[in-house]
Amino acid sequence: MAVNILSDPEFKLIRDWVYAQVGINLAPAKKPLVMSRLQKRLIHFGLDSFGAYYRLITSGGEAGEPQIALDLLTTNETYFFREPKHFDFLRDRALPARLPGATYRVWSAACSSGEEVWSIAMLLAARLAPGTWEIMGSDVSTRMLTRAQSAHYAMARAEQIPRALLTRFCLRGVRSQEGTFRLMPDLRRRVNFRQINLIAPLPEVGVFDLIFLRNVLIYFDMETKATVVRQLCSVLRPGGFFFCGHSESLHGMNLPLTSLQPAIYQRQDRG
């Protein structure tokens, strides 16, 4: 089948649909990405245009296809111990300030394929006693959540993991699994994964001591960004910490957060 070309009107239809579903604003520069990632779905259904695919995902005729489209269009690159200063802060300042006797709870609110979640888990396991901490990882993409929950990665992904943590918490694959590694079962038991759409009302998730929402806000417009962060602040305990990406800012949003250093905030003690 010949390659289909994504027209500007078709791109606008798909862009507006993605925005309505998950609040992500696909810039015009993303048009080639949209075309390349959805092309295989046109081939799968034998469709001759992206307009026909748009009608398919919005008609309700293929129940699982809208989620597949969102999975394809919202996947972001991530890696272990990305933005190391955040992990230094977690180790050196956030953990020493934790509430005595309470379970330390962290939410990776857009965990993608899980590298962020497992980076946090290794650090917490190295610093805290078993049973005193837990992590929730969430994403809008079911495909990414499946990958994250498997905790199974190519060995090349391990380059940023400190050697001591890699040796202590990761199992090297053998035979058919050679060239891969997997996080230890004890670590995997401390992490819970959920599909959560951050622009929808939050389900019951409890209260967290620290929330990671990194390299996601850049895809939202200002109004959506403020709404998402305000919701997350509602489940961040007073005195808890909020991390965003180093290329992101919460300036001008009137949030109950105080900036401590670039991309690190603390919730004010008032409600």
Residues acting as catalytic residues: 37, 139
Instruction: Quote the crossing angle between the two packed helices 8-22 and 65-74, to the nearest 10°.
Output: 100
Of 134, 125, 243, nearest to 192 (Cα)?
Answer: 134
What type of residue sits at position 29?
A: A
For residues 103 and 56, give the distance between their C-alpha atoms in angstroms, rounded to a whole number: 46
For residue 114, with 0-12 CB atoms within 10 Å meaning exposed, 13-18 middle and 19 or more buried, which class applies? Answer: buried
Q: Which residues contact 254 (CB under 8 A, 6 or more apart)?
A: 226
Rounded CA gap, 7 and 16, in Å?
14
Round to whole Å and give the CA distance between 227 and 224. 5
DSSP element (H, E) containing 259:
strand 257-261
Chain center to CA of 52: 30
Distance CA 99, CA 207 (A): 13
- Extract the tokens encoding 191: 């992490």
- Cα separation of 151 and 128, whole Å? 21
